[in-house]
C-alpha cells in the first residue's frame, strides 16, 4: 500500500520492480486498521475490448467513456498497430479501478512497466477530484517551510527556474516534485504534496508543505511579476491541472480550483534565466 497526498492506494495484480522503485518513498505498512481510499487492480489482457458508453471524449492520449452507473472507462489506442493497449475502468466514486494492459514489448520503444507507471499516475490524477484535490503541472519548491509551485506549458522552463532556486539558495531549498505535485486541502488550509510521478526525472519526495503561492512562468527579456485576477488565475489553472472530461466531475474540479484561487495568491512571472528572477519571486511572496 502507498500513501500519496493523503490518499491511501492499494495496488494488486502487478509485480513490477520498476514501479516499486518509483513508488518506494510512498510505501506504508498495510495494517489491519488501514483501508484504501483507492484500490487499483492490474490485469494483463492481450485482447482488450473497448466498452460501450453514452459519451466518448478525447483528452491527451486517452479516450474517455461514460458508462453511466457502471462508472468511467479510458482507453489508449495506438493507430499504428490498430490496437488498444490500455483500458482503465473506474467506478463512479473513484474508489476502485481495473487497469487492463497489453505487454507492449513488441509495440513501443518503452517497457510495459514504464508505461504502466504513467498510466497509474493518470488514473490517480483523474480520481483526485473526488478527494477535493488537483494535480498541477508544475515544479514544486519548498522554501522556509512553505511551497511555491511554478507552472507553465511544457518546455517553457519551469524545471529550469526551480533549479535556479536550488542553485542560488542551496540547502534552504527542497525540490520535491519536478512535474506533477498535488494540491489538497487539510483542515481548511491548502498543501502542496509530492507524488511519485515527476515527468522525465525522478525528482520527487514524499513531503507536503503549506502552499505559499503559485507562479505561472513565461519567457521574457526582463523580469516582471504581477498578481493575476480571479479569471486569469482560473484560466491558467484549468489549462495546467489534470482535469476530468465529464460535466459532473468538471463541476467538482472547478470547485477545487476556486478554493485554490480563494486561498492562494497566483502570479505571472515574465522571466529570464537569472538570479534576479528568483529573487523577484522570493521578495514578492515571502516579504508580503
DSSP state string for 246-287: SHHHHHHHHHHHHHHHHHS-EEEEEE-SSHHHHHHHHHHHH-
Residues 109 and 146 in one domain: no
Q: Give CA 270 to chain center in angstroms.
A: 24
CA angle 169, 171, 175 (to 5 degrees): 85
For position 57, what pLDDT does the model report? 76
Residues 144 and 127 in one domain: no
Q: pLDDT per position in the chain (288 positions), as tens?
A: 999 999 999 999 999 999 999 999 999 987 767 899 999 999 999 889 988 887 777 766 789 999 999 999 999 887 666 678 899 999 999 999 999 999 887 667 788 999 999 999 999 999 999 999 999 999 999 999 999 999 998 888 899 999 999 999 999 999 999 999 999 999 999 999 999 999 888 999 999 999 999 999 999 999 999 999 999 999 999 999 999 988 889 999 999 999 999 999 999 999 999 999 999 999 999 985
For position 80, what pLDDT does the model report? 66
Residues 123 and 146 in one domain: no
Number of domains in the chain: 2
CATH number for the domain harbouring residue 162: 3.90.228.20
Residues 126 and 142 in one domain: no
For position 107, what pLDDT does the model report? 67
Cell readout for 85 is 493497449
Residues 41 and 142 in one domain: no
Residue pair 94/125 in contact by the 8 Å Cβ criterion:
no
Long-range contacts of 21-26 (CB under 8 A, 24+ apart): 22/117, 22/196, 22/202, 23/196, 25/194, 25/196, 25/204, 25/205, 25/206, 26/2, 26/195, 26/196, 26/206
Which range of residues forms the domain containing residue 68?
2-131
Residue pair 272/223 in contact by the 8 Å Cβ criterion:
yes
Query: Domain boundary residue among 76, 110, 131?
Result: 131
Query: Domain boundary residue among 131, 160, 183?
Result: 131
Residues 227 and 263 in one domain: yes
Residues 111 and 143 in one domain: no
Query: Domain boundary residue among 131, 148, 181?
Result: 131
Q: Give CA 246 to chain center in angstroms.
A: 18
C-alpha dist (Å) from residue 147 to 141, 162, 177, 264, 277: 6, 12, 11, 11, 17
Amino acid at each position: 500500500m502507498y500513501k500519496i497526498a493523503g490518499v491511501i492506494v492499494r495496488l494488486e495484480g502487478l509485480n513490477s520492480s520498476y514501479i516499486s522503485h518509483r513508488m518506494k518513498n510512498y510505501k506504508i505498512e498495510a495494517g489491519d486498521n488501514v483501508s484504501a481510499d483507492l484500490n487499483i487492480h492490474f490485469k494483463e489482457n492481450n485482447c482488450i475490448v473497448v466498452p460501450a458508453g453514452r459519451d466518448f471524449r478525447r483528452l491527451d492520449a486517452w479516450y474517455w467513456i461514460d458508462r453511466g452507473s457502471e462508472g468511467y472507462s479510458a482507453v489508449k489506442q495506438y493507430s499504428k498497430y490498430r490496437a488498444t493497449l490500455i483500458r482503465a475502468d473506474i467506478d463512479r466514486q473513484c474508489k476502485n479501478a481495473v487497469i487492463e494492459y497489453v505487454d507492449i514489448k513488441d509495440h513501443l520503444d518503452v517497457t510495459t512497466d514504464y508505461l504502466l507507471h504513467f498510466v497509474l499516475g493518470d488514473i490517480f490524477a483523474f480520481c483526485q477530484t473526488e478527494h477535493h484535490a488537483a494535480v498541477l503541472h508544475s515544479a514544486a519548491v519548498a522554501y522556509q517551510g512553505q511551497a511555491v509551485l511554478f507552472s507553465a506549458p511544457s518546455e517553457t522552463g519551469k524545471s529550469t527556474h526551480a533549479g535556479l532556486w536550488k542553485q542560488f539558495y542551496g540547502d534552504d531549498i527542497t525540490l520535491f516534485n519536478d512535474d506533477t505535485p498535488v494540491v489538497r486541502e487539510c483542515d481548511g488550509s491548502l498543501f502542496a504534496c509530492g507524488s511519485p510521478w515527476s515527468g522525465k526525472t525522478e525528482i520527487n519526495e514524499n513531503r507536503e508543505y503549506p502552499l505559499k503561492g503559485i507562479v505561472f512562468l513565461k519567457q521574457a527579456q526582463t523580469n516582471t511579476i504581477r498578481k493575476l485576477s480571479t479569471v486569469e488565475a482560473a484560466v491558467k489553472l484549468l489549462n495546467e491541472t489534470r482535469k476530468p472530461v465529464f460535466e459532473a466531475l468538471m463541476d467538482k474540479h472547478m470547485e477545487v480550483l476556486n478554493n485554490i484561487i480563494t486561498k492562494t495568491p497566483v502570479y505571472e512571472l515574465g522571466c529570464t534565466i537569472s538570479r534576479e528572477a528568483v529573487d523577484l519571486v522570493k521578495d514578492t511572496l515571502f516579504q508580503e
